[in-house]
Chain A
Amino acid sequence: MSIHSPVDDTVARLFEERHRPRGDLAGGGVPAYSGHQVQIRVAGNDALRVVLYHVTPAPGVAEGMDVRAGQLLGHANVQGNSFDIGVERWEGNSPRYYSYLALLPERQFADYRRRGLDSPADLIISEEYRRAHPLAFNSPEAHAEGWVRLR
């Protein structure tokens, strides 16, 4: 599955994501190496980073390189992980995360509409909802309600 830069600017950071291996890979365990993390600056907004996790970088992709929206950066490294994406806004020393799908402009979100999603709001579990409906971390219930299957 190819991974592309969603924005124009620069690869700010590129590094291997390494974790303590857990479990059997065939059974959904986590390998020591789970791809690279690619952090991309957002043109015109210094505090923002689009972060692509678990990427096998394409040849030539390196820190400091300029990228254009749509440019191929690599492929999803899904061995033990799903590909994921975060939009971080740095406030002081800690990031705050924003929903990538909620931030898509309508022309981009329309492609998800065609796959059965009605609104970005359908993709967000709010703090208020979770406080009213608490779950144990990583419980089967949390997993079940955390995903939306596309048509």
Chain B
Amino acid sequence: MCQSAPIVIGQTTRDESAGGRALQRVAPGIENSKKEEVSQVKRHATFGLLLLATLAVAVPAGAAEVPGKIGKSASTADHTKFKELQGPFATGPEVTKACLSCHTEAAKQLHKTTHWKWDYYNAATQQTLGKRTVINNFCVAVSTNWPRCTSCHIGYGWKDDKFDLTSEQNVDCVVCHETTGTYKKFPAGAGHPVYEEKEFPPGSGKKWVPPDLAKVAQSVGKTSRKNCGSCHFFGGGGDAVKHGDLDSTMTNPGKALDVHMDAKGLNFSCSDCHTTGSHEVTGSRYAVKAKDKNGIDVPGRTDDTRASCESCHGMTPHAKDAKLNDHTDRVACTTCHVPEFARGGRPTKMLWDWSTAGKLDEKGKPVVKKTADGKETAYDGMKGDFRWEENVVPEYRWFNGEIKYTLMGEKIDDSGVVPINRIGGSAADPDSRIWPFKVMLGRQPYDKKQKILSVPHVFGQDDTAFWKHYDWPKAIKTGMESVGQTFSGEYGFIETEYYWPITHMVAPKEKALACDSCHAREGRLAKVGGFYMPGRDHFAWLDKLGWLVVALTLAGVVVHGLLRLVLSGRKG
């Protein structure tokens, strides 16, 4: 009975069309833990009986339909009936004030999060990171470009470095919780939506219409892929630019694109894995968990985050082919299960070359060239040259979760490619696994004399903004001074690379990599060193010597046989 009973753990699926009805699914890996439990039963008969009894109770409940996760319909509160939310609201902060009149602690909770602070201290590397501090090779840095960058901040009005981080009313509740799909932060609005109709980008003819804030406020619910995606799918200034494994195609992905978020299947939302407590979202790209040794997470017993594959699947998820489980200690799940990124039909940016920016046409407008397929911008006078790629095979590296950034003001070696971040790990380190990465290449301005990456001032209406006057020295000077640096006057462009661990766009298992994707002479791991891998590695001289001896032996017996034949013929 025990063997055949489906054990139901955690993940249920939401099927909104069926009114929140849920189907039971069992994640690969749960089966194995079941077997472990079964063997324990044998060892401890008394406890086993208790366990069996528990299972017997659990089975009918699991087999039957159970209420789905709390969606709008299952909530005990209907926000459309709240008098506080009837509006009208003129601004976002007014909505927040209404929210906080009931959710008294919400803003205080959010104030502690990286989403709000844009500031993160990595204890392992002792580096202060966060969006306000790091330099990247997309739009480079936040300082002096605030209103453009903070259009993805969960607040209102971060338009310069004097923003009040203790303001409760400036927390934007609805960007994460509204469900109408009409609320959008204006790209250059410092986190505000538009309150009157505007055009953006200027001259594009694309109209931004003010949302009905009362409707938006009344629609609040749990966060959805669309909510999180409104920023995370558009990082780096546009759809699919930054991550490679997160873009607008993940709003309603099919099974082939993401087996968990499959809108018609498991239909996970981001927070199904990125679990939250007091508004703190788990899972961080600054401090990655390269190997989740907690295995399957049990609420209250482990770390209360499911932001790792192992949280649900454990370390031995392959029930049918146990040999695969021998890989999980050294190979990250996504190495095989995300065979390519940018698979949804949106190419991701793989290279951004600022050095060619600044070409203007006869009217003084930046030159824009499309890619051959017309899908993307290949060159933009404001930003330089881009390379876009779809269905990208990741690069693979040993990785232990440690990521060290090249910080503002840190001396760089300009003789080669400068790492925006360095990833830790090696074959010799048992906590490292082979991980897939998007490696973003850049060519960006730096102070040639001081050998530091520069913080260019690109966005703004003032005299020095690059996107206004296309004058690098001015833009670099303003940018550097804003972070307390002095520009030497000499600038150049340096090649940079930026590692992005790939964790999303998990393909169905049929599409996972096969053995010989890596176990081959020139496979995907051809360049990953420090270990011997069957099929890829061999001792060239042993092979040469071996085959030589085999050939000599073969020649020897053939000659011996022929000689016998010839000689016996002659004599006979």
Q: Are chains A and B native binding partners rather than an unrelated pairing?
A: no
**Residues of A that sit less than 8 Å from B by CB:** none
